[in-house]
Amino acid sequence: MQISIFLGLLFWNLAQLLPKKLILFLGRSVCVGLLAFFVLCSVRKQTNNGAIMSLKTASANPDSQALADLRVRIDRLDAALHDLLLERADVIDQIRKLKSKQVLCLRPGREAQILRTLTARPQGKLPEGLVVRLWREMISAFTQQEAPFKVAVTTPAKGEHLWDLARDYFGAFTPLIEAPSAREAVKLAQAEKAVLALVPFPQDGEKDSWWSLLAGDKKNTLSICAAVPFETLKVGRGNARHAVPGGLVLGPLYPELTGDDRSFLALHCAHVPESEMKRLLGKAGYKLLQLLSHTTGRGESAPTLFLAEVEGYIGRADTRLSRLRAMLGSRLQHLTPMGGYPAPLKSGRR
Per-residue pLDDT tens over the stretch 47-79: 455 544 554 554 557 678 889 999 999 999 999
Can you give the pLDDT at residue 121? 94
- Span 265-285, average pLDDT: 95
Tell me the sheet residues that pair with 267: 306, 335
Between 52 and 312, name the one with better pLDDT.
312
Q: What does the alpha-carbon distance between residue 201 and residue 101 come to, in Å, rounded to a whole number? A: 33
Average pLDDT for 38-46: 48
Residues 6 or more apart whose Cβ sits within 8 Å of residue 227:
201, 246, 247, 248, 249, 262, 341, 342, 344
> What mean pLDDT do residues 169-177 have?
95
Q: How far apart are CA 217 and CA 81, in angstroms?
A: 46
Find the DSSP H helices in the chain: 2-17, 20-60, 62-98, 108-120, 130-146, 163-170, 182-190, 211-215, 274-284, 319-328
Element spanning 341, H or E? strand 332-342
Query: Residue 32 — pLDDT band, cuts 50, 70, 90?
Result: very low
pLDDT value for 42: 53
pLDDT at residue 102 in the model: 66
Give the mean pLDDT of 315-326: 95
Residues 75-115 pLDDT 10s: 999 999 999 999 999 999 898 888 766 667 899 999 999 99
For residue 110, what are the contacts with CB-CB under 8 A and spacing of at least 6?
256
CA distance 120 to 214: 35
Tell me which amino acid residue 298 is.
Answer: R
Q: Is the pLDDT of residue 227 over 80?
A: yes
